[in-house]
Amino acid sequence: MASAARTAILLFAACAVAQTTTPAPTTSGSAPKITAVSDCHPHSTVNWCMVGTEEYQVVGPTKTEEFQAQYTDCHYHTTELYCVDDAGEDVKVLVETVESGADEHTDEHANEEPAGSGEHCHDHAGIPHCVGGSSEQSNCNAPDREYNIPLRVGLLFVILVTSAAGVFLPILTTRFNIISQDNIVFVILKQFGTGIVISTAFVHLFTHADLMFGNSCLGELQYEGTTAAIFMAGLMLSFLVDYLGARFVQWQQSKHAGTSAEIATGSRDDKSADSTASATPHVHGHSHGPIRGSTPLEQKINVMNLEAGIIFHSILIGITLVVSGDAFFITLFIVILFHQMFEGIALGTCIAELPRAAATTVQKCIMAGTFALITPIGMAIGIGVLQQFNGNDPSTIIAIGTLDALSAGILAWVGIVEMLAHDWMHGKLFHAGPVRTLCAMFALICGLILMSVLGKWA
C-alpha cells in the first residue's frame, strides 16, 4: 500500500509539472492552457518566454532591466492571456504569435513575416506592407527594430553626391558647351527623364499612396476613391499654376501695349494673313491648331512646378529610407540611389533647357542644389525621429498617403503635358528625322521601364 501511494503521488506531481510547462493540445478555436511562462529571454527589445518547446512574446516591458525570468499565475481575460509579474501586475502574453520551432526566431523575421499569421510582410518604401493571409494586423504599434545609425549618417552623404551628380550633369554640360540642347545625347537624356517622371507619378507615388490608404491600421475608408481624388487635386493644382502663370504673363504684356495699338496691329496682321493664305496653297500645320509658344517666365513656372512635385516626394523618400529596418535598409538604399540619380537627370534636363531670360546660371544651380539637398534633409529628419516613428500610426499613414497622391498628380501633369506632349506633339520631335525619333522613343521607354522596375521596392 505504501508503494502504491508513493507511485500515485509521483504521477500527480508529474502531471502538475507538465501542466505548467507544456501547453495542452488544442483544437481549432481553443486556447492553450498555460499557468506560467519561464526561461524568459530578450530578442532585441522584446521579451520572449518559453512554455515547453513553445516561445511566446510578452507585451509590456520594453527595457532589458525590466525583463523577468518568469511570470506566474497566468489567466485569461476572454481570449487574451495575462500572467502576473513580480510586482503583482498583469502582463499580456501573445499566445498566437509563434508556432512550434520558434527557437530559430530572429527579430528580422518577426518584422518580415509575423509567424502564424499566414501573411508575407515586407517594407515598401520603409512602410510595412502585408499581402496574403488575414487582412487584419494584430499589432499597429511601432515595430521593434535594430537601427545602424552610423551607417545611415554615412549613406546620407552618398545620396547627396548621387543626387547632385544627376541633376547638375545636364546643366553644367550645356552651360560649358560640352553638349548642346540639340545634341542627340541631350535629347536622349531629356526623354529618359520624361519616362522617369511619368513612371514616378503612377508606379511609385500613386501606387504607394493607394497602399497607404489601404492599410488595415487606418481602418476602412468610407470613400474608396480617396487616392484618385487627391491625385486629381494635385493634377488640378498643377494645371492652375500653369494656367494662372500664363494669364499673368499675358496681362503683363498687354499692360505695356496700348489698346489702340493692339487693334491696329491686329488689323494689319489679319490682312497680311489673308494675303499670305491666298498666295500659299498649303501650309503644313498641326492637327490640334496653332500652339502659342511659352514665354521664358512660363517655362520657369513649369520647371518650378515639376520641382515642387519632386520635392514633396523626395523628402518622404529620405524619411522612409532611414526608418526602415536594417533587414531592408541596404536594398532600399540601393534602389533609392538609382531613383535619385534618374530623377535628378529628369529635373536637370528641364532646368538646363531654361533660356537665360528665364533663369541665370546661378539660379539654375540653386534650383538643382535644392533637389540635391532635399532627400538628405528628409533622411536627417528621419534619423531625428527614428525611435518615435511608427509607419502604422493612422496620422502617419494619412500624411504620407496624401503627400504621395498629391505629388503623383503634380508629376503626372508635368510629365504628360509639359514634357511628353510638349516635346512630341508641339516641339522639335514632331518634325524630327527617323533616327532621332527612334533614339528619343527608345530613351523614353527605357525611362518608363527602369523606374517601373524600381517600383517593386520603392
Q: pLDDT by residue (tens digit) across 189-199?
A: 999 999 999 99
pLDDT score for 8: 54
pLDDT greater at residue 23 or residue 400: 400
Binned at pLDDT 50, 70 and 90, residue 6 comes out as low
Binned at pLDDT 50, 70 and 90, residue 14 comes out as very low
**Assigned C-alpha cell, 233:** 487635386
Binned at pLDDT 50, 70 and 90, residue 24 comes out as very low
**Assigned C-alpha cell, 12:** 500527480
CA angle 374, 379, 380 (to 5 degrees): 95
Taking residues 373-391, report their average pLDDT.
90
Which residues 6+ apart lie within 8 Å of 34 measured at CB?
A: 20, 23, 51, 56, 74, 81, 83, 93, 95
Which residues 6+ apart lie within 8 Å of 125 measured at CB?
A: 204, 208, 316, 317, 320, 321, 332, 457, 458
pLDDT greater at residue 388 or residue 17: 388
Binned at pLDDT 50, 70 and 90, residue 128 comes out as low
Taking residues 279-297, report their average pLDDT.
54
Q: Which of 16-20, 58-62, 238-242, 345-349 has the lowest mean pLDDT?
A: 16-20
pLDDT score for 27: 40
Taking residues 349-369, report their average pLDDT.
92
Q: Is the pLDDT of residue 317 over 80?
A: yes
- The DSSP symbol for 42 reads E
pLDDT greater at residue 389 or residue 61: 389
Binned at pLDDT 50, 70 and 90, residue 19 comes out as very low
Question: To the nearest whole number, what is the mean pLDDT of the chain?
Answer: 79
**Assigned C-alpha cell, 47:** 521579451
Which amino acid, 46?
A: V
pLDDT score for 7: 52
Binned at pLDDT 50, 70 and 90, residue 446 comes out as very high
pLDDT greater at residue 269 or residue 371: 371
Binned at pLDDT 50, 70 and 90, residue 268 comes out as low
Taking residues 113-120, report their average pLDDT.
45
Rounded CA-CA distance 395/231 in Å is 19
Q: Of 21, 435, 447, 414, whose CA–CA distance to 238 is shortest? A: 414
The per-residue pLDDT for range 132-182, each reduced to its tens digit, is 544 444 467 776 677 889 999 999 999 999 999 999 999 999 999 888 888
Backbone φ and ψ of 158, nearest 5°:
-65, -45
pLDDT score for 194: 96
The per-residue pLDDT for range 204-222, each reduced to its tens digit, is 999 999 999 988 888 888 8
Q: Is the pLDDT of residue 120 over 70?
A: no
Taking residues 34-57, report their average pLDDT.
81
